[in-house]
Structure 1
């Protein structure tokens, strides 16, 4: 189970922001490799074919080989903030940026990954070297990488021991990297967009699940505003969490 969540709509957390933090976080010098990727047009997958209902990916992989239906291949989402896409993390390209975000006090208060690059690298490696049940992604708004996401199979995660999981439940973790993107509804907009991406591209997924720290009230509020409902309080090994659920059946009602 990925360990924690982070603030979404607000600059939340017990530690205050250091002077100049917004300046430092927003002064992004993107690697050439990332710029090249962003310059390319993302291919738009067609609707799921008949074989996809059993878990086959659009690329024709055997059922079960791709546990999350390739988030990197999902079409971008059009939001009120602009076009948004998920870009699977490549440590060689993204590690410095992600380490910088993990050392922001508001993020570190909940993710607990502050420190040198090897701390963030180890967290990423556990996912990238695994069986694909969790995919770490950059969230790219327009051409700017501004958030970090983990899309994971909640029903195959240790989290499933703590709630009545259903097959193909899909979980999300989020942190907003830029201080200027917090506290103005960005998290809510992107949470709704990513939940819709999951439901659109994972036809077997009945629900999108999240488990923000109960103390992180801005994060819980952002999930509620994004169409999630509060299901229960759950005691996890590292936190007391608010179990948030966005149901496929209710996606157009909340």
Structure 2
């Protein structure tokens, strides 16, 4: 488990990230991915069994991993890490050595905490860059998801172009380790990268 101290703007204990268990976490994930606020996750009509199967398949895939993010010891967000040379972006861009793809989903809540989602993406990026082999993070959010574009920009992502995926029109964006370190000063990251 990776422990990441809480970034500024969010008060409580700390963030931690642990591997997702597709069986024991399926019920929780089902409530998150089918919530109206999670429309861009594209699982609105998924049944519990669909979510369990999807994450069992992801867990069995050598090119993908999923994690549950904890805040104050409680599940608060989902992280998916993938190899874009083999998943999600195959044929849509030329992958470089050290590229890693990422998706994240903050658990929907009726009582949002100001700055929380930005703190989550900061923690996720710090987590990804803990691996010295990772040189650049690649994302492909829906072009209509302007909220996540703003969050991505805040941690150093630079959009390259729109790409057509089977399920959506996406904004292909990249963030190098250096761009992240420039966008989010070390003190704000709360971690040593």
TM-score by length of 2: 0.84
Q: Find the residue that maps to 1:245 and give its secondary structure.
A: strand
CA gap 1:210/1:158 in 2 versus in 1, 3 angstroms? closer
Alignment RMSD (CA, Å) = 1.9
Q: Which residue of the other structure, out of 167, 172, 181, is the alignment partner of 1:243?
A: 172
- What is the total number of aligned residue pairs between the two structures? 179
* Alignment partners' CA distance in 2, 1:87 and 1:226: 22
Tell me whether 1:197 sits opposite 2:101 in the alignment.
no
* Stretch deviating more after TM superposition (94-103 or 177-186): 177-186
Tell me what 2:52 maps to.
121
- Shift in CA distance, 181/129, structure 1 to aligned 2, threshold 3 Å: farther
1:85 to 1, 9, 16: 16
* Alignment partners' CA distance in 2, 1:181 and 1:206: 35
2:58, 2:65 within 8 Å by CA — same for their partners in 1? yes
Q: What is the aligned partner in structure 2 of residue 55 from structure 1? A: none
Give the 3-state SS of the residue equivalent to 2:91 in structure 1: helix
Matched-pair contact (CA < 8 Å) for 1:136–1:151: yes
Q: Paired residue for 2:71, among 141, 157, 174?
A: 141
Alpha-carbon spacing, 1:227–1:169, altered in 2? closer, same or farther (3 Å): same
Matched, 1:227 2:192: no
How far 1:198 moved relative to its partner? Answer: 1.2
Greater helix share, 1 or 2?
Answer: 1
Kept after mapping to 2: 8 A contact 1:192/1:227 = no
Task: Name which structure has the greater RCO, CA cutoff 8 Å, separation 6+.
Answer: 1
Note if contact 2:37-2:108 (Cα within 8 Å) is conserved in structure 1. no
Residue ranges of structure 1 left out of the alignment (5+ in a row):
1-72
CA distance, structure 2, for counterparts of residue 93 and residue 158 of structure 1: 26
Residue ranges of structure 2 left out of the alignment (5+ in a row)? 184-193
Counterparts of 2:29 and 2:3 in 1: how far apart (Å)?
Answer: 23
Distance 1:198 1:77, change over 3 A: farther
SS of match in other structure, 1:218: helix
Q: Tell me the equivalent position of 1:152.
A: 82
Whole-angstrom CA distance in 1 between matches of 2:169 and 2:42? 15
Q: Following TM superposition, by how much is the alpha carbon of 1:115 offset from its aligned partner in structure 2, in angstroms?
A: 2.8
Pair 96,218 (structure 1): closer, same or farther in 2 beyond 3 Å: same
**TM-score, length of structure 1 as denominator length:** 0.65
Q: Which has the larger radius of gyration?
A: 1
